[in-house]
Amino acid sequence: MMIFDIVSMCLRNLLRRKVRTLLTIVGVVVGTCAIVVMISLGLGMNASQEALLAQMGDLTIIEVYSYGNSKNGKEVVLNDEVMAQIQQMKGVLTATPLYTPQNLSAQLYAGNGERYSTGFYNVVGVYPEAMPLLGYELLSGSWEEAFSSPLSMVVGQYAAYNLRDTRKQRNNRRDPYPDRNGKIADPFVDLATSKLILRLDQQDEKAKKVEYKPKVSAVLKEDWSRGYETSRGMFMAIEDLKKIEADYIKANNIKVDKKELGKYQNAKVKVADMEYVGAVEEAIQAMGFDTYSMETIRKPMEEQTQKQQMFLGIIAGVSLFVAALGIANTMLMSIYERTREIGVMKVVGCYVRDIRAIFLMEAGCIGFFGGIAGILLSYLISYLMNFFGLNIGMGGASMWYGSASTGAPVSIIPGWLVAGALVFSTLIGLISGYYPANRAVKISALTAIKQE
């Protein structure tokens, strides 16, 4: 038999008992829809969790701490050499220490007659090339120019509000908060355009006077998930900051251990993808350092979600199993009704493989068309869940997971889920029809042709 004849006969046989075929397909529709919807809910949970964690901080950032850590009884030191080793780890995009000098006292001045000043205590030294890769956003300036010249600084969005008016005893500061009329006062000076003087605050008046003329080359957008520095802090190339500190130590004859100057207390590591966070964090911990990342929160949440998905999947699987039994039952009933037809096909010389192909194709078509209808129904249900979940959720009275706080979809149906569901439903149909098809080909031609 030609493939066209097999397909034609398959469709005629399915349409011969329209109601029974339709009811069998409905079983597949329900099973397929249940699986797609349950998995889409699980994917929605994952998206909600990741969106919630992203609001708390970058999921691909690892914080590294070193406060007198030791390994095998020996002190481990976080320095430039160790940072280079971390940078070479698989999956690491960038790494930088966050250096805050302990042996430095300085003041930053601006305005006519150095009228405005602020302490230099909240400056942080970093590797310049790491800043854009860590995800910091700029309000003004560009990363190409941010650290292009010596003593360049990148400041937080509201760093200018740190300056105080030295000529006033009261009301000598301004805040970036609206007053009772809703107006926000401008800072005393614009750090990006003002001429600045950085003067080391020597403890000894006889000490050599040391001062610099730094320049603010860029302004960061405030993002508390990335640290206080994005609001009121200041960043400087780590080598520039070390030089300033060394000059201060020399000017004040401060005795320090040079080895201590090369130590960092904390650092940030950025990995290329969340899949690398766990491995990189374990590798850093194996070096003897303490770490923190959102992985410590994300992983337990992900495991809990996986358990929920498994439970939902089992429930959906039961529905599809019942649908498979329905297909098998329908095909067996069809064989009993068409026993004489099978006998005639054998007598006229029809190949056994063609008879098997007819029944398998019928079962496969039931699974295929049921899968398509189930997927379409899943899209409708998913749309309704997202519509009501997000709209009610934004009002604060929703029980849909994550919709109220993150705005993430309740249900997500990606392309791979659609393709997988269609293939799976078709396979269920073929598997369910395998036994009835084999039973059909084993019927004796003489017995079958005598069947009324």
Token output for 200? 């080391």
The predicted structure's pLDDT at residue 279: 92
Name beta bridge partners: 125: 99, 236
Q: pLDDT (tens digit, 9 = 90+) per residue, 390-401?
A: 554 444 444 444
pLDDT in tens, 224-249: 878 888 999 999 999 999 999 888 88
Is-contact 164 245, C-beta < 8 A?
A: no
Q: How many residues does the chain have?
A: 452
* Single pTM value for the model: 0.65
pLDDT recorded at residue 334: 74
pLDDT given at position 400: 46
- SS3 for 344-381, per residue? HHHHCCCCHHHHHHHHHHHHHHHHHHHHHHHHHHHHHH
pLDDT, tens digit (0-9, with 9 covering 90-100), for 164-182: 999 988 888 888 888 888 8
Identify residue 143 by its one-letter amino acid code. W
Given a cut of 60, is residue 10 above it in pLDDT? Answer: yes
Q: What is the DSSP string of 237-301?
A: EHHHHHHHHHHHHHHTT----HHHHT--SEEEEEESSGGGHHHHHHHHHHTT-EEEETHHHHHHH
The residue type found at 387 is F
What is the rounded CA–CA span in Å between residue 215 and residue 147?
10
Where does the pLDDT of residue 217 fall: very low under 50, low under 70, confident under 90, or very high at 90 and above?
Answer: very high
Sign of CA dihedral 398, 402, 408, 409: negative
The residue ranges of DSSP E strands in 7-140, in sequence order, are: 61-65, 70-71, 74-75, 92-97, 106-110, 116-119, 123-126, 138-140
Q: How far apart are CA 233 and CA 311, in angstroms?
A: 48
C-alpha to C-alpha distance for 176 and 116, rounded to whole angstroms: 17
